[in-house]
Amino acid sequence: MCGINGILGLADKSIAAKKIAAMNFALRHRGPNDEGTFVDDKIALGHRRLSIIDLSAAGHQPMTSYDGRYQIVYNGELYNFKELKFELQRVVSGSGQQAYLFQTNTDTEVIIASYVRWGADCVNHFNGMFAFAIWDTETKELFIARDRLGIKPLYYCYTEGVFAFSSEMRALLSSELLPKKIDNNSLIDYLRYQTVHAPNTIVKGLKMLMPGHFIEMKNGELRIKNYWSVSKNNSELAKGKTYTEVCKDVNALLTKAVERRLIADVPFGAFLSGGIDSSAIVGLMSKVSTEKVKTFSVTFDESEFSEAKYAQLIAKKFNTDHHEIVLKPADFIEQLPYALKAMDHPSGDGPNTYIVSKATKEAGITMALSGLGGDELFAGYDVFKRALELNRKNWLNALPLFLRRAGGNLLSSTNKTMATEKIAELLKQNKINFNSFYPISRQVLMDNQILQIVNSEQRIANRGELPANRVSEIIKEFQISDFKFQISETSCAEISTYMQNVLLGDADQMSMAHALEVRVPFIDYTLVEYVMGVPDKFKNPTTPKKLLVDSLGDLLPPEIVNRPKMGFTFPWKQWMKNELKSFCESKIHSLAQRNLFNEQGVLKLWKAFLQDNPRVTWSRIWHLVVLENWLQENGVED
């Protein structure tokens, strides 16, 4: 796990060397073990290393191929690198392919060798999480790729003939290759969803490479290609199988995914909340590992938020070396500035991962497994049930639109909660279906709220409208409505929006702030492809994550399976009204002064939160606090 940087197109080597050094410095937290640069004619590559596999100096990057032709910088882990290495060392008779002469035991060199043999198709041979760049010194071509599910980040910009990329936005901002300006449309996306969906970012001109995509850069031409998609790469292996057979397959695939992720030359552990997902990962780790598993969980004095008893139950069952991080408001306030400073891109979530990652690293752990992705894949969120219920209410489309809108307005005026506000908004849509339902279901601020807090210049053509809803665009891009199975349709939406753009982004930036690598077995692509092809009748969550639980057999005790879902969250409401009130208030007032915002509207929203308005919960305010803090920290202007 590391950080990578690159600049293509700067004629002056000395300037390129200074900029790549500045970018490397900005990524120093991601790779405390080593750093390196490669500077040649119009190309500069940089790397910060966190050693996980082959801790020797042989893993130094940028790494050169044995023949000197290729240079690589790489961030991630390739779980099948040993199998690929064996294949790449063989000469296939009649193929004309040469055996690669390996010089190290790293997975980095396996990526180079794979590119030498298969070219851009190498990515289809990889099982892992990765973002890497390979420079061909002969053809002067740059190849950049990101893993299928978007576990590892890759940002880029292309201005005035200079192309630059990095693992983090802050490194690109430090290069001074582009102005630090807010992207207006991305701002609306952020206000709606507490994040900006790839390929856009909050900064104008700064992009993110989409998951499952690669870039080919040659002669100043940038070509982006899609090699894998969660909506299109669904397995047919479950077709015609019984429920028992499907459960057996899921168990085998998940067990193998966990086993793959235990390959490391450093101490490892796991995040344990005591929920089904993290408990399943810990149970399978204990089953396949020869070492005692170390587990970490956050607990609170506020009993309604604490999952301590469930985590303790799992720790005892699997005899783990368990560490509890008891978090008091004073402790959190002390660490909050550091958590916010660690944010590479503003997000409405993240400090929770920062806290547990910090404690995990301080306990001597360099790599940890997480249960992230279980909810998205096995229908763990309420949105799955609501999407299924929507089918049974198709009769609503038979009602005239004016009648539905009237009903929505009445509902909104009589029951003033966020849930009813979303139902009312759905009733006002031209057609009620998944494509209109899902974008509304995930919104943090509704469009009518956003219109009240943004400057009139943020509206299109002075008609009181906002830019197109990015989540609606994503659903259309991935042709989610073409899915055979509705639960898979919802999974695709969750994976392509919330998981990739919020959860994975937060997990990466907050764990890497402590040079901790986080691995996520639930989104091993072989498991994802299989489960996405499983019929709804087997995945219907009549009980919590039924398919996953049944696939695990007796691995988990009933107390964990049947416990109420809490999620891994903090008592934000109480803290924001008490211990964090002055901090939040100062950021809200500062944000309100910005040109892009309507001061009265922003302050009115803050006042509504303080007065316990049910339509303005803590999450509707916190992402505004985070945004202003991030803009200040990074000197980004509106």
Confidence band for 33, pLDDT divided at 50, 70 and 90 = confident
**What is the mean predicted confidence (pLDDT) over 593-620?**
95
Distances in Å between the alpha carbon of 379 and those of 168, 348, 382, 397? 31, 22, 8, 26
Give pLDDT tens digits for 75-120.
Answer: 999 999 999 999 999 876 556 678 888 999 899 999 999 999 999 9
Strand partners, 460: 465
Average of pLDDT values for 3-30?
94
**Res. 482 pLDDT band, cuts 50 70 90:** low
Mean pLDDT of the chain: 90
In the block, which residue shows the tokens 């396996």?
A: 110
1 band by pLDDT with thresholds 50, 70 and 90: low
The predicted-structure confidence for 394-422, as pLDDT tens digits, reads as follows 888 888 888 888 888 888 777 778 888 89
Tens digits of residue pLDDT in 271-293: 998 999 999 999 999 999 988 99
Mean pLDDT of 589-616: 95
pLDDT of residue 304: 55
- Check whether 305 has a pLDDT greater than 70: no
Q: How far is CA 509 from CA 153, 340, 345, in A?
A: 9, 10, 8
Band (pLDDT 50/70/90 cuts) for residue 56 is low
CA atoms within 13 A on the CB side of 177: 30
Q: Which of 580, 511, 571 is nearest to 359 (CA)?
A: 511
- Residue 623's pLDDT is 96
Tell me which of 398 and 609 has the higher pLDDT: 609
Give pLDDT, residue 563: 78
38, 62 Cβ separation under 8 angstroms: yes
The whole-number pLDDT of residue 502 equals 95
Confidence of residue 333 (pLDDT cuts 50, 70, 90): confident
pLDDT for position 570? 66
Residue 399 CA to residue 150 CA, distance in Å, equals 41
From 24, 622, 1, select the one nearest 340 (Cα to Cα). 622
- Coil, strand or helix at 276: helix
pLDDT, greater one: 192 or 424? 192
Question: What is the average per-residue pLDDT within 542-566?
Answer: 90
Question: Quick one: pLDDT at residue 177?
Answer: 94
**pLDDT score of 281:** 97
- pLDDT band for 343, please (50, 70, 90 cuts): very high
Those residues with Cβ within 8 angstroms of residue 542's Cβ, 6 or more apart along the chain or in another chain? none
Quickly state the pLDDT bin for 463 (edges 50, 70, 90).
Answer: low
Tell me whether residue 2 is one of the annotated catalytic residues.
Answer: yes
pLDDT of 449 strictly over 80: yes
Whether residue 303 has pLDDT greater than 70: no
What fold is seen in the domain 2-226?
A: Glutamine Phosphoribosylpyrophosphate, subunit 1, domain 1 (3.60.20)
Q: Which two tokens stand for residue 103?
A: 């010089």
pLDDT in tens, 221-251: 999 999 999 998 999 999 999 999 999 999 9
Q: Of the segments 59-68, 263-272, 474-483, which one has the largest average pLDDT value?
A: 59-68
pLDDT of residue 609: 96
Q: Residue 68: exposed, middle, or buried by beta-carbon count in 10 A (0-12, 13-18, 19+)?
A: exposed
Q: Are 7 and 164 in contact (CB under 8 A)?
A: yes
Look at the pTM and tell me if it is higher than 0.75. Answer: yes
Q: How far apart are CA 380 and CA 184, in angstroms?
A: 34
Q: Of the ranges 220-229, 297-306, 605-614, which one carries the lowest mean pLDDT score? A: 297-306
- Give the pLDDT score at 601: 96
Task: Give the model's pLDDT for residue 50.
Answer: 66
Across the beta sheet with 221-226, the strand order is 63-64, 70-78, 128-136, 141-146, 213-218, 221-226
Q: Does residue 532 carry a pLDDT above 90?
A: yes
The CATH code of the domain at 243-379+488-561 is: 3.40.50.620
Query: By percentage, how much of the chain surpasses pLDDT 70?
Result: 93
Q: CB neighbours of 218 closer than 8 A, spacing ≥ 6?
A: 139, 140, 141, 142
The region that residue 115 occupies, defined by phi over 0 for left and psi between -120 and 50 for alpha, beta otherwise, is alpha
Structure confidence at residue 171 (pLDDT): 96
Q: Report whether pLDDT(301) > 80.
A: no
Question: What is residue 155's predicted lDDT score, i.e. its pLDDT?
Answer: 98
The token pair at 297 is 């969980």
Domain boundaries, the chain: 2-226, 243-379+488-561, 571-638
For 24, the token pair is: 């490397």
2, 247, 492, 584: the active-site residue:
2
Given this chain, do its domains 2-226 and 243-379+488-561 carry the same CATH topology?
no
pLDDT of residue 46: 96
Predicted confidence band at 370 (pLDDT cuts at 50, 70, 90)?
A: very high
* Bigger pLDDT: 332 vs 561: 561
Higher-confidence residue of 458 and 465: namely 465
Confidence of residue 459 (pLDDT cuts 50, 70, 90): low
